[in-house]
Structure 1
Amino acid sequence: MTWQPHITVATIIEDQGRFLLVEELKQDRLVLNQPAGHLEANESLRQAALRETLEETGWDVELTGVVGIYLYTAPSNGVTYQRVCFAAKPLRHHADRSLDTDIAGTLWLSRDELAAQPQRWRSELVPRCIDDYLNGPLHGLEVIRD
């Protein structure tokens, strides 16, 4: 069996102390996650983050930095993910845009509101990325080389 990590991107979007999260259906339950997804062929990491954010939330955003790069093995299936987490500011919401089929909706939560619902986290990376964003440092986008 060949081991192959999955490359993913996620985006932390903050507005006035609240963070844009998605509710997505995983294993027959609604969980909370940052807008996130897999890198596609012929796509840069930045392009993937912008695309996934728009597809999952209906928001155009401007990437402002890199929060971190995370290696995570999901206990549910043993799959290893390498997540590149970006920070972004919201620019424009397309309220009439259809969201990805596994996204039930979006919501803005404070860090405390998210912390109060650990049973709903998609993974431990959800609060960890927000905490790393809040505690810094935020790395410049130039650290990502296409």
Structure 2
Amino acid sequence: MDWKPHITVATIVEDNGRFLMVEELKHGRVVLNQPAGHLDPNETLTEAAVRETLEETGWDVEATGVLGIYLYTAPSNGVTYQRVCFIAKALKHNPEYQLDDGIVGAKWLTREELMTQRDNWRSELIIRCIDDYLAGLRFGLELIRPSL
């Protein structure tokens, strides 16, 4: 068996009880997710989170902390993802930014609004990360150690 987990990053960006979410196409339907994506070669996890947020939402953000590290196996394909979820502060919106292929757009939603759209979640990690954030989980960025 050839098992290769995927390293991904995600970002929780909150503003007055609303969370920055991404609408993206997945298997021909629009789903909701936090700004998230894969780690690219030669970048840090923090750099990847900031980059993915910009590429998927048009928002420049500053990472302020780490929410947690999550292990998730997608029931649709059996792929295992290790997600490092960051907390970030929105700095500036770039409305003319060309979003990644497959991204429909970004929207700000409350937890309650997200709950009414459960059938459109990309995964259960969405609400788990938001609930961890709302519960006050926070770790410093120094938790992420760069390579030597």
Above 0.5 in TM-score?
A: yes
Superposition map of 1:1-146 within 5 A:
1-146=1-146
Q: Return the alpha-carbon distance in structure 1 between the equivalents of residues 137 and 23 of structure 2.
A: 27
Q: Look up the equivalent residue of 2:108 and give its one-letter code.
A: W
Q: Residue 49 of structure 2 aligns to a residue in which SS?
A: helix
Q: Look up the equivalent residue of 2:13 and give its one-letter code.
A: I
Q: Look up the equivalent residue of 1:13 and give its one-letter code.
A: V
* Moved beyond 4 Å, runs of 4+: none
Q: CA deviation at 1:29?
A: 0.5
RMSD: 0.6
Percentage of identical aligned residues: 70
Q: CA deviation at 1:85?
A: 0.2
Count of aligned positions:
146
Q: Return the alpha-carbon distance in structure 1 between the equivalents of residues 137 and 81 of structure 2.
A: 22
| Superposition TM-score, scaled by structure 2 size | 0.97
Q: CA deviation at 1:136?
A: 2.2
Q: Return the alpha-carbon distance in structure 1 between the equivalents of residues 133 and 141 of structure 2.
A: 14
Provide Cα deviations, 1:34-53, integer angstroms capped at 9, x if missing partner.
00000011110000001000
Q: Return the alpha-carbon distance in structure 2 between the equivalents of residues 136 and 128 of structure 1.
A: 13
Q: Return the alpha-carbon distance in structure 2 between the equivalents of residues 71 and 137 of structure 1.
A: 17
Q: Residue 78 of structure 2 aligns to a residue in which SS?
A: coil
Q: Look up the equivalent residue of 2:54 and give its one-letter code.
A: L
Provide Cα deviations, 1:9-64, integer angstroms capped at 9, x if missing partner.
00000011100000000011000000000001111000000100000001000111
Q: Residue 85 of structure 2 aligns to a residue in which SS?
A: strand
Segments of 5+ residues of structure 2 without an aligned counterpart are none
